[in-house]
A and B are shown apart, each in its own frame.
Chain A
């Protein structure tokens, strides 16, 4: 049992990440879809590096050869009002 939290926003543990990789996830994007790791408030800014390392270890694949993580805009959370400010 490894209850170490890897993604703090969505509270995903190391066990759950390893299970996803065991189930066939071959990219961080796949881990994200399987476990929600990286889908929370920080959008993977904190856990993305840890996820890459775990995946690289498990798949015995160098970091540089993994499918790049899809970073979704915005880079920081933005208020809805900021996006329509020009209409105010």
Chain B
């Protein structure tokens, strides 16, 4: 598909755009990333960095397999990337507080064990033995030893720095304003700072993918979903594993700060923080870990995650102009899927075929009449 003379331009300098530029660079292919503001300034920096393919999945299948493949890349990547991405093989405890939730947890455990994944049911005393700071009201927990966490800001930056070293150009403070085509092929990307000739354009604009798609008359059904997060002052080690309850997730980061997230709000492009959400997150955190009650919280912030109707990303070729590709709509899985998306997109561009088929991620699944199935 790709010829050595092909000029590749990526619209969007978030974690997905930077990862694609990085993996293209590893294959000796240069690209240009166009970013409206700064690298990773939207959804990429409104994440806690949880890598949770198992705890956050609801059923086996194509998407689950992609999440697992993505997760498996980080251990090696943390050695390969020049910057410290604060990857921690921590494991995760999915805390169960009532009988109904326990039934759901048992179903989750059953199909995951059938799929050959590692997951264990711990009763109350085993749970508290593993994480003594948890509330004694806990009924039990599902333990996922392979669900981990890292620092999403550092990972985005590491992809950007790595990509630049491998020859990519990253233009920050540059807005995409149009796309030109010649006889059904993309020919250039127009920005507020000039026009860039392009043979391949990748729409990696996250929540703004719809706007970029509209430039080639393409409807990309991505919409922003706000997530609010709070952060505590740095504390001595209080717990080691990621903690997930019905209400919140809680991670203690390597510097000692505790992150609590997150909400899921359809409020358009509004990144404000609300007292209601802050309250909800505090209540959820203190319920799970009572000792957090006497801790100070120092920051609350919000970001917009690119949601698609089936909560599965849109990746690969489009039915639009030749050379126009998509890698967007990663919703709450952008950090987890960053590396695998970069790898697969770079394979698609250089070899014409990705090592994991991307057919199921095509935009065309949303065409009228197509059946949309939730993950």
Q: Which residues of A contact B (CB under 8 A)?
A: 23-27, 29-30, 33-34, 39-41, 43, 67, 70, 72-74, 77-81, 83-84, 87
Chain B proximity of A75: nearest CB distance (Å): 10
Give, as a whole number of angstroms, the nearest-CB distance from B174 to chain A. Answer: 10
Do A80 and B172 have beta carbons less than 8 Å apart?
Answer: no
Is B295's CB within 8 Å of the partner chain A?
Answer: yes
Chain A residue contacts of B298, Cβ below 8 A: 40-41, 43, 74, 77
B283 & A30 in contact (Cβ 8 Å cutoff): no
B38 x A83 contact (CB < 8 A): no
Least CB distance, B168 to chain A, in whole angstroms: 13
**Contact, CB under 8 Å: B286 / A84:** yes
Chain B residues with Cβ below 8 Å from A78 are: 296-297
Cβ-defined partner of B173 (8 Å) among A26, A72, A81: A26
Q: B282 contacts A80, CB within 8 Å?
A: yes
14 A-B pairs (CB sep. < 8 Å): A25-B38, A26-B38, A30-B38, A30-B172, A33-B41, A33-B153, A67-B37, A72-B300, A74-B297, A77-B233, A78-B296, A78-B297, A83-B278, A83-B297
Chain B residues with a Cβ closer than 8 Å to the other chain, count = 32
Residues of B whose CB lies within 8 Å of any CB of A are 37-41, 45, 153, 157, 161, 170, 172-173, 232-234, 273, 278-279, 282-283, 285-286, 292-301
In the complex, the answer to whether A81 meets B294 with C-beta atoms within 8 Å is yes
Assess whether B286 is in contact with A81, with CB atoms less than 8 Å apart: yes
Contact of A77 among B37, B40, B41, B297 (CB under 8 A): B297
Inter-chain contact A81/B293, CB cutoff 8 Å: yes
A83 to B41: give the CA distance in the assembly, Å.
Answer: 28
Give how many A-B residue pairs fall within 8 Å (CB-CB).
Answer: 81
Minimum CB–CB distance from A27 to chain B (whole Å) comes to: 7
Candidate in B40, B273, B282, B301 with the most chain A CB atoms within 10 angstroms: B282
Of B232, B278, B279, the contact of A73 (CB 8 Å cutoff): B278
Q: Which residues of B contact A39 (CB under 8 A)?
A: 299
Contacts of B283 in A (CB 8 A): 83-84, 87
In the bound complex, CA of A72 to CA of B231 (Å): 11
Q: Beyond A26-B173, A41-B233, is A33–B297 a contact (Cβ under 8 Å)? A: no
Q: Are A84 and B282 in contact (CB under 8 A)?
A: yes
Report yes or no: A80 in contact with B301, Cβ–Cβ below 8 A: no
Kindly list 9 other residue pairs between chains A and B, CB separation below 8 angstroms, not including A24-B170, A79-B297: A25-B38, A26-B172, A30-B41, A33-B153, A33-B157, A74-B298, A78-B297, A79-B293, A83-B283
In angstroms, Cα B302 to Cα A70, docked, is 11
Give the residues in chain A near B37, CB-CB below 8 Å: 26-27, 30, 67
Closest Cβ of chain B: how far from A58's Cβ, in Å? 14
> CA separation between A80 and B278, bound complex, in Å?
10
In the bound complex, CA of A27 to CA of B273 (Å): 21
Pairwise interchain contact A73-B282, C-beta atoms closer than 8 A: no
Contact of B157 among A34, A80, A83, A84 (CB under 8 A): A34
Nearest 5 CB-CB pairs, A to B? Answer: A77-B296, A30-B38, A83-B282, A81-B293, A72-B299
B365 nearest CB across to chain A (Å) = 34
